């Protein structure tokens, strides 16, 4: 029997987390979808504004309640982030209670909201009994601004609410920073379907060990097929070197096409680094092993077939 799913999706306002959460819940057949804003309202009913003034402000303007603003010495980003931390800290314990109840009842659950802060939320204590997955969504500034405005108008929070895009952008940057520090996947939400596929490839663990044989120059083709076309990911790499009893292993977990693109660009811009990698490839006869994952079985099989057709595979492992 599989463990219950607990999917946590955090982001600043206007990134698109509600849409993604709904789509993901539908795809996985999860009935329980909760916004942290609702959890916050319950907490507000228990803890009054005199005790927790930051809680009773919005996430983006909670900083106005801080009593020691001078310690930030004019650093607006740090001030806004500190106010947001204070605001979210009152909601986190209630979120953890909701997760515990779902796990105890063996219920699948999706929670989405700005209050899901990596480093604040303790998900380790649930991993024994739940298949728990934490994501932070982001988008580039122009895309974020466009969505933020549309969302504000849709929920009839124009006017003053629209003035707080800068603060929300700072919260976005803060959440991304926290996610990177705490090894929480950051997904660039450019397209709903692509985002959903990337998240499913991390959630479902539909993977297969494959042996590749190609040159360093063909890395771009490999990553384009796996990451861009099929929304998959690449896990770990093993090089088979002559004279070594065990392969040389390196831990990787690449699911973001922009990360792969940056790596390839760095190779192009640094001839020595590229030459070193080419030397490793030559020693192994260009043969190396990856674990590749996809959002579903159909995508995995199609991915493998295309990799084979492009001449990138040395051998397809038989189960």
| CA distance linking residue 209 with residue 155, whole number of Å | 46
Q: Which of 119, 76, 96, 82 is nearest to 36 (CA)?
A: 96
Decide: residue 34, CB within 10 A, 0-12 exposed, 13-18 middle, 19+ buried.
middle
| CA distance linking residue 84 with residue 92, whole number of Å | 12
Give the 3-state DSSP-derived string for 169-184, with helices as H, strands as E and coil as C: HHHHHHHHHHHHHCCC
Decide: residue 298, CB within 10 A, 0-12 exposed, 13-18 middle, 19+ buried.
exposed
Alpha-carbon dihedral sign for residues 53, 57, 60, 65: negative
Q: 110 near 32, Cβ under 8 Å? A: yes
Residue-range domains of the chain with CATH: 5-200 (3.40.50.300), 205-316 (3.30.1340.20)
pLDDT computed for residue 102 by the predictor: 96
pLDDT computed for residue 162 by the predictor: 73
pLDDT computed for residue 319 by the predictor: 47
pLDDT computed for residue 318 by the predictor: 45
Decide: residue 124, CB within 10 A, 0-12 exposed, 13-18 middle, 19+ buried.
exposed
| CA distance linking residue 105 with residue 266, whole number of Å | 48
| CA distance linking residue 47 with residue 56, whole number of Å | 9
pLDDT per residue of the chain (319 residues) written in tens, 0 to 9: 789 999 999 999 999 999 999 999 999 999 999 999 999 999 999 999 999 999 999 999 999 999 988 899 889 999 999 999 999 999 999 999 999 999 999 999 999 999 999 999 999 999 999 999 999 999 999 999 998 888 777 765 544 567 889 999 999 999 999 999 999 999 999 999 999 999 999 998 899 999 999 999 999 999 999 999 999 999 999 998 888 888 899 999 999 999 999 999 999 999 999 999 999 999 999 999 999 999 999 999 999 999 999 999 996 444 4
């Amino acid at each position: 029997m599989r463990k219950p799913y607990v999917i946590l999706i955090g982001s600043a306002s206007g990134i698109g987390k509600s849409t993604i959460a709904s789509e993901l819940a539908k795809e996985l057949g999860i009935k329980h979808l909760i916004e942290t804003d609702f959890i916050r309202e319950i907490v507000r009913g228990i803890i009054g504004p005199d005790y927790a003034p930051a809680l009773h402000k919005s996430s983006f303007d909670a900083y106005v309640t801080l009593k020691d603003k001078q310690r930030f010495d004019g650093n607006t980003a740090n001030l806004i982030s500190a106010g947001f931390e204070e605001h979210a800290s009152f909601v986190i314990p209630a979120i953890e209670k909701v997760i515990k109840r779902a796990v105890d009842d063996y219920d699948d659950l999706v929670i989405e909201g700005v209050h899901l802060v990596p480093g604040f939320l303790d998900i380790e204590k649930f991993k024994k009994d739940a298949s728990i997955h934490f994501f932070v969504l982001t988008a580039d500034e122009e895309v974020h601004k466009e969505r933020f405005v549309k969302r504000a108008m849709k929920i009839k929070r124009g006017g003053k609410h629209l003035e707080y895009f800068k603060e929300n952008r700072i919260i976005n940057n803060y959440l991304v920073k926290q996610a990177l520090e705490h090894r929480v996947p950051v997904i660039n939400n450019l397209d709903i379907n692509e985002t959903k596929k990337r998240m499913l490839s991390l959630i479902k663990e539909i993977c297969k060990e494959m042996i590749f044989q190609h040159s360093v120059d063909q890395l771009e083709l490999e990553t384009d097929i796996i990451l861009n076309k099929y929304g998959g990911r690449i896990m770990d790499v093993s090089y088979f070197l002559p004279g070594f009893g065990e392969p040389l292993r390196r831990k990787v977990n690449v699911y973001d096409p922009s990360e792969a693109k940056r790596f390839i660009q760095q190779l192009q811009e640094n001839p020595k680094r590229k030459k070193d990698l080419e030397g490793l490839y030559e020693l192994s006869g260009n043969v190396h092993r990856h674990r590749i994952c996809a959002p579903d079985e159909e995508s995995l099989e199609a991915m493998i077939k295309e990799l084979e057709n492009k001449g990138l595979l040395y051998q397809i492992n038989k189960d």
